[in-house]
Amino acid sequence: MKSAAVVLAALVFTASPARAQEAPAPAQEAGAAKEASAAAERPAASDIARFLAGGAIGLGLHESGHLLTGALFGADPGMKAVSFGPLPFFAITHEPVSPAREYTIAASGFWVQHATSEWLLTRRPGLRREHAPLAKGVLAFNVLASTAYATAAFGTFGPYERDTRAMADALGVSEPWIGGLILAPAVLDAWRYFKPESRWAAWTSRAMKVGAVLVVATAASR
């Protein structure tokens, strides 16, 4: 969670260069300019609110993924509030289904995260330099949620309803494997945010995301 906090801080406080440059810096006013520059780099309250709204949108999209696939399979999906440390999460409950469908319902929150991050990073490679707190909030949620889930998966702790536990059971693998499957694209997407020119990171991330869908075949054969 500590590394997640660092990523969050980096995403929030990566100041827009355009705004940082607004502060004049003549040599004789170095002290005053330094203060003005520090003020310009401080995110405005409205930006923080939009960033957090982006995070809420990310959470909503994740849960919508579960609800959509649950409804698609006629599994009568419902919501149940659970907590993961200080973070509130909603677990999606549903009727018993086959392993392949169980995997799909449990994984679809991550699939939605993967798709939205991919869309953001592909359409807006310069996102980091943009003044776009809402989009950055969505991306931060995606990276942090996956990191938090992966941490829980590696340690096999957290609420029983957690997605990674359900995915692992449906595939018949140990949960840390699912942690790796979820963490890798999140780390790569964070890397791409800072290094948009990195083609290997983009294609490795995409391959991992496709892989997270294709492993459903393993569940289907059980």
Cα atoms found within 13 Å of the Cα of residue 42, Cβ hemisphere only = 8
Nearer to Zn ion, 109 or 185 (CB): 109
* Closer by beta carbon to Zn ion, 109 or else 133: 109
- In the set 109, 137, 185, 196, which binds Zn ion (CB under 5 A)? 109
3-state secondary structure of 88: strand
Rg (CA), the chain: 20
Number of residues binding to Zn ion, judged by CB under 5 A: 2
With 0-12 / 13-18 / 19 or more C-beta atoms within 10 angstroms meaning exposed / middle / buried, residue 11 is: buried
Q: Which is nearer to Zn ion, 67 or 132 (CB)?
A: 67
We find the least distance from the C-beta atom of residue 210 to Zn ion, in angstroms, to be 19
Alpha carbon separation from 112 to 31, 34, 74, 106, 162 (Å, rounded): 47, 42, 20, 11, 16
Least Å distance between CB 148 and Zn ion? 11
Answer for which of 47, 163, 175, 189 binds Zn ion (CB under 5 A) is 163
Which residue is associated with the tokens 């942090």?
144
Cα separation, 167 vs 106, whole angstroms:
6
- The interface mask with Zn ion, positions 17-56, x = CB under 5 A, is ----------------------------------------
User: Near Zn ion by CB under 5 A, which window of 70-78, 96-104, 159-167, 192-200?
Assistant: 159-167
Q: Which stretch binds Zn ion (CB under 5 A): 2-10, 102-110, 193-201, 203-211?
A: 102-110
The C-alpha torsion from 95 through 98 and 103 to 106, rounded to 10°, is 0
As given in the structure block, the two tokens for residue 200 are: 């290997």
Question: Interface with Zn ion by CB under 5 A: which range of 38-46, 156-164, 172-180, 182-190?
Answer: 156-164
**Binding-site ranges for Zn ion (CB under 5 A):** 109, 163
